[in-house]
Amino acid sequence: MKATEKQAIDWLERSLAKSPADFLGSNGSTCSRCGRAIPTAETRIRCFECGGDLCAYEPACNHKQRSLYRGFPLIEDPAELIPLARKHLADACYDRFHVNDSIWFSGFTVFINYLENRVTPSTEFAADLDGRSPDLVTWLDAHAHNVVSQWVSLKQMGRFVEYTDRRAIAGNLPDFFTSITAQGMNGPVMWAGRPTMRSVWDFALAPLIVNEIQPKTIIELGTASGGGTLLWADLQKLSGLTPHVVSMDIDPPEFEHEGITFLRGDSNRIDEGLPDDLLTSLPHPWLIIEDAHVNISGVLEHLDRFTQALDYLIVEDVEAESTLGPFFAARPGRYQVDTLFTDYFGHNATCAPDQIFRRAQ
Ligand SMILES: [Zn+2]
Ligand SMILES: [Zn+2]
């Protein structure tokens, strides 16, 4: 066992009771008609208009705002699972570093080796676990398969996933307190001395996103004190781009910074806040951060007229399924969830669960 693999297992051994063994959490649904629990593997119908969530295909309401939520089959057979797990782990290293450069990847390697050892016992692997707490072996026996199966099944959906397919497995790995303390418990997550109103996960996602998508324009709706705005502009600069952030708020802050334009505007009158001639002039690709939670439907309808393929849209800090469902249902295939980012730190460990989108076409 490699040093980092040993470290990962040491941590697991010390914290067995608290270690999540279920990436997907309890995200099953209950049928609005018959009350039956609907497993994640089962396809169901959701109605955005009346909130109906039905276990059968026949409609129970006359609304048009219905969508098919395709079930999520888990890959369970070790013969299929183990090679796929090794492939996805290698992909997660971007072909640039080794699995043992990450303690999580190292721990995951042990889980895979454990599953492999159950099929083909190895004395080397047995020696690695020799002298360990019996609780650790019990934990691995009960959960290693589940952890590997859930992650591989998520990865098998592909990186870019239709919104309704993601919502069929709606849920997130972090619990409530972990989610909110990740925004800072002894102080907010800050950039250049200003609060960003971001979680540690979203703070870490920002440079990954900017570096990969290379946005020429970042449009932010909801500025607060401007910490996040500064972060976006500085990240553009650090990625070799010209900083260019347009940030709109009903009460924008009063400081100046290279590449940032603060606009006074109201999302309820978005066509005045971000007028057509302004949007037409902004170079693509865009990264749009919706963080005002006002008139999201109208904002998206307005911006959709100007977005292009490879633009990104992130809807933060609000559960917007009743708005996003009809919006995407009316535009099949146009936007997809980028699960590389939503799941970077665990299934939906972000303030934008299932709400980081790339325009595909
Ligand atoms: Zn039912
Ligand atoms: Zn309905």
Of 71, 89, 106, the position where a domain reaches its end is 71
* Ligand 1 centroid from CA 109, angstroms: 40
Number of structural domains in the chain: 3
CB 286, CB 309: distance < 8 Å: no
Same domain, 176 and 276: yes
Task: Return d(Cα 232, Cα 322) in angstroms, integer.
Answer: 29
Same domain, 262 and 113: no
Of 100, 123, 156, the position where a domain reaches its end is 156
Q: With a threshold of 0.85, does the pTM exceed it?
A: yes
pLDDT digits over 259-309, tens only? 999 999 999 999 999 999 999 999 999 999 999 999 999 999 999 999 999
* Ligand 2 centroid from CA 322, angstroms: 12
Task: Return d(Cα 325, Cα 115) in angstroms, integer.
Answer: 39
Same domain, 40 and 54: yes
**Protein residues near ligand 1, an ion, with CB under 5 A:** 31, 33-34, 36, 55
Q: Which ligand is nearest to the CA of 37?
A: 1
Greatest Cα pair distance in the chain: 70
Q: With a cut of 50, which residues of the chain have pLDDT below it?
A: none
207: preceding bond cis by omega (within 30 degrees):
no
Q: Are strands 37-38 and 53-54 parallel, antiparallel or unpaired?
A: unpaired
* Ligand 1 centroid from CA 33, angstroms: 5
* Ligand 1 centroid from CA 174, angstroms: 29
Same domain, 141 and 197: no
Same domain, 168 and 293: yes
Same domain, 141 and 84: yes
Amino acid letter, 52: G
* Ligand 2 centroid from CA 41, angstroms: 23
* Ligand 2 centroid from CA 59, angstroms: 8
Same domain, 195 and 264: yes
Same domain, 41 and 17: no
Same domain, 85 and 14: yes
pLDDT digits over 100-134, tens only? 889 999 999 999 999 999 999 999 998 988 999 99
pLDDT, residue 250, reads 96
Same domain, 207 and 249: yes
Task: Return d(Cα 156, Cα 292) in angstroms, integer.
Answer: 33
Rounded to 5°, angle at Cα 261 from 307 and 361: 10
Same domain, 220 and 171: yes
For the four alpha carbons of 322, 327, 332 and 335, in that order, the dihedral sign comes to negative
Q: Which ligand is nearest to the CA of 66?
A: 2
Amino acid letter, 50: C
Range of the domain at 48: 28-71
* Ligand 1 centroid from CA 49, angstroms: 18
pLDDT, residue 123, reads 92
* Ligand 1 centroid from CA 162, angstroms: 24
Of 71, 99, 127, the position where a domain reaches its end is 71
The residue behind tokens 């309890």 is 26
CB 7, CB 105: distance < 8 Å: no
Helices and strands in the chain: count of H runs, count of E runs: 15, 15
Same domain, 289 and 145: no
Radius of gyration for the alpha carbons in the chain, expressed in angstroms and rounded: 22
* Ligand 2 centroid from CA 86, angstroms: 43
Please provide the DSSP assignment of 23-64 as one string: TT-S--EE-TTT--EE-TTS-EEEETTT--EESSSS-SS--S
